[in-house]
Structure 1
Amino acid sequence: MEFSRWSRVMTIAAVLMLAGIAGVVFYSHMYELALHHGEPEWCAALFPLLVDGMIVGASMTTLLSDARYGRRGGLLPWALLILGSVASPAANVAVADPTMWSRIIHAWPSFALIGAYVLMREFRTTAKSVRTASADDERDLQGVVLSES
């Protein structure tokens, strides 16, 4: 397996692993928070999916926009992504014990997921520039071959 394909597979695996772990931890914290503030159990069970669903939907919209059109996503997906990215660590910290270390530990899964998302965007940007440079080199090589003919 070539290096760029290997690095792409490893990056995707790492982001999916972080997303899965962060999702489980965040779900339990948000569920606990909703129960604590009087939501019925069935609503508390659905509430974490609203925040995570908003983050995933907004992330996919911005990533797909980047991939398809070579531009940044619109204002609404970015606003929802930012709002969800603030709500996630806030909910985690809200259920923590009132000590600094407890708050850091509770907030960490959200920051890990946000960091993984930023790394994924950086990886996509780097991969795109490598593909563009490779295509330019190929065109230059074809031009040299054609001019020698």
Structure 2
Amino acid sequence: MAERLTRITTALAVLAVAAVAAVISYQHAYELVSSHGESGITARLVPFTMDGLIWAASMVILDASRSGRHVPGLAKWSLGVGIVATVGANVAHGMNHGIVGALVSAWPAVALVGSFELLMMLTRRVASTDPQERENPARDEIGSALVHVGTIGTIVAQSTEEAILADYVASLNGPGRPLSQRFLAEKHGVDRRKVRQIVSAISPRQLA
């Protein structure tokens, strides 16, 4: 319960930081694009393509990681380009205020990228600890095989006991003497003590 609560609060914190950073980063990129010749719907959509590319590439990388597939090179390249674009746009937005202004302006973009990656790490961790996700097919096959072998062994053991019991009871009802425990042990390939246990467990009702 405590671990689940920790994961939930961590995810909420990461999402909150990502949301705030996304809004500020978008505003910086929008102002930069608007001041360099773009206007209207174009100026408003261009910033989305930067952060959207990071999100899309991160999702592809996450999916490949969770399914055990090789991460596509295009996803890595797109993630790198998206990070450079959004950080570069924020840096350029603050350059008019010197180095410090550029660093301050770039921080939301850095926080946004970091939040994306933290969210991906958290998602991978949750998936790896999920009972359905961490099932090992090979281990399940081995477990099924062991259960199958154990079941066969139980059936064989029961059949052997039943055969010994049937032979002994039949000899009691026959014209000759009852079969000896030694004979039954040698016939069925078991220990004489096992035969003694089986024979001694016969109830009067079974003999009737």
Which bin holds the TM-score, normalised by the shorter protein? 0.7 to 0.9
In structure 1, the partner of 2:82 is: 84
Give 1:11 deviation, angstroms: 2.4
- Supply the distance in 2 between the matched residues of 1:104 and 1:135 (Cα, whole angstroms): 46
Larger radius of gyration: 2
- 8 Å contact from structure 1 (residues 33, 95) kept in 2: yes
Q: 2:41 and 2:116 mapped to 1: Cα distance?
A: 30
Of 4-13 and 23-32, the range deviating more from structure 2: 4-13
| Cα separation, 1, equivalents of 2:113 and 2:39 | 29
What letter is aligned with 1:43? T
Letter of the 1:95 partner, please give it. H
Distance in 2 of aligned mates of 1:98 and 1:15: 29
AA matched with 1:62: I
Q: Does 1:36 align with 2:35?
A: yes
Structure 2, unaligned stretches of length 5 or more? 151-208
Distance 2:53 2:33 in 1: 17
Rounded to whole Å, the distance in 2 between the matches of 1:39 and 1:135 is: 52
CA distance in 2, matches of 1:72, 1:109: 31
Secondary structure of the residue that 2:53 maps to in structure 1?
helix
Counterpart amino acid of 2:15? L
In the TM superposition, what is the alpha-carbon distance from 1:15 to its structure 2 partner? 2.1
CA distance in 2, matches of 1:89, 1:22: 12
Name the % identity: 34
Name the count of aligned residue pairs: 139
What secondary structure, in the 3-state scheme, does the structure 1 residue paired with 2:38 have?
A: coil
Letter in 1 for 2:55: V
Deviations 1:31-53 (A, max 9, x none): 11111111122210111111121
- Normalising by structure 2, we get a TM-score of 0.57
Normalised by the size of structure 1, how large is the TM-score?
0.77
Which stretches in structure 1 are left out of the alignment for 5+ residues?
Answer: none
